[in-house]
Amino acid sequence: MGPLQDEGRHRIGSRVGIALCWAAAIAVASVCLFIIGYLLVQGWHSINWTFLSTDPVASMTEGEAGGVRTPMVGTAVLVLFSTFLILPVAIGAAIYLAEYMDERWWITRIVRIGLETLASVPSVVFGMFGLAVFTLGFFKFLSASGTEGGNMAFGRSFLVASIVMGVHVLPFVIKVAEESIRNIPLSQRQGALALGMTKWRTIRKVVLPAAKSGIATAVVLGMGLAAGDTAIVMLTLGGTMTMAVDKWWQVGNWVEVLKGAGSTLTSYIYFNSPAGDGNSPGAALGAAFVLIAIVLVFNLAAVLLFRRQQRAA
């Protein structure tokens, strides 16, 4: 076979590969669009001001199922508090992995394996582990009440769920933040060191400001992951549709709110869906549409932040 025939075969193979890549991308995008479109069509009729501004009601009748006000508030509390808890740890670990750890060290390999293992553990395992740990009597201060006549803690509260959720999303945030820090050009570090800056001052004054968009991307992706989780919420936040405190919006009750059980959009969907405990598919689809919209906003923000860092680089 001549050179021309080989070149023709390579061109055909290249075109086939490109076509398969496009087909795979279109298939994934089509599935996502179908899910979003289905939720939009089926759940749009439930979206109104009453649905968004009223609390859930335990009912077997869809017209009396109530709205998603407290589940939306619960989702916000869980996402923000879990992010607040893990942010220092995630950024510190990302800095250490990117700037100080040598890939030839055995401890580095152990840390990498540990992070990859944490990232692959299903969220239900985290939920079961959190429930087993935080029901111990030592952790009574994290939940509103313990078991009657015993030394066990209740183990279900926004504080407990936030801690467990933070551990769940931590490896993803660390990985994305580390890659963002690594992508900062070496010349910027060398220039700062040449001016007499210490390594830590270089990280604080040069590397982190340059990587802030990427770190923000990592945080936003973690928030989206936390907002969409169900297993951890069901196991560590409690099987309730509303807040444990009636006047939860009053500042004086916020500590009790954090130590009490509650609900999020994912648990609301479960309790109203025929696949779960309810018989209100319209309310469940409406809440699912709200949740998908929130996650899409998080992902869109992550994409915009990532592009901003790429332009800055």
267-291 confidence digits (pLDDT tens): 888 888 776 666 777 888 888 888 8
For residue 164, tell me if it sits in a domain.
Answer: yes
pTM: 0.83
26-54 per-position pLDDT tens digit: 999 999 889 888 888 887 878 888 888 88
Number of domains in the chain: 1
The CA distance from 186 to 191, in Å, is 9
For residue 6, tell me if it sits in a domain.
Answer: no
Q: In the predicted model, what is the mean pLDDT of residues 179-193?
A: 88
Q: Indicate if the pLDDT at residue 182 is higher than 70.
A: yes
For residue 249, tell me if it sits in a domain.
Answer: yes
For residue 22, tell me if it sits in a domain.
Answer: no
List the CATH number of the domain containing 75. Answer: 1.10.3720.10
For residue 37, tell me if it sits in a domain.
Answer: no
The CA distance from 277 to 271, in Å, is 5
Q: Residue 178: which of 69, 70, 99, 290 has the closest Cα? A: 99
Reading the block at residue 222, the tokens are 């973690």
For residue 132, tell me if it sits in a domain.
Answer: yes
* Amino acid residing at 74: G
Q: In the predicted model, what is the mean pLDDT of residues 48-62?
A: 77
For residue 30, tell me if it sits in a domain.
Answer: no
Q: Residue 150: which of 164, 162, 163, 135 has the closest Cα? A: 135
DSSP state of 259: T
For residue 148, tell me if it sits in a domain.
Answer: yes
| DSSP H or E segment with residue 85 | helix 69-95
Q: Are 69 and 54 in contact (CB under 8 A)?
A: yes
Q: In the predicted model, what is the mean pLDDT of residues 59-66?
A: 65
Domain range spanning residue 128? 47-312
Q: Are 75 and 227 in contact (CB under 8 A)?
A: yes
145 by Cβ neighbours in 10 Å (0-12 / 13-18 / 19+) ranks as middle
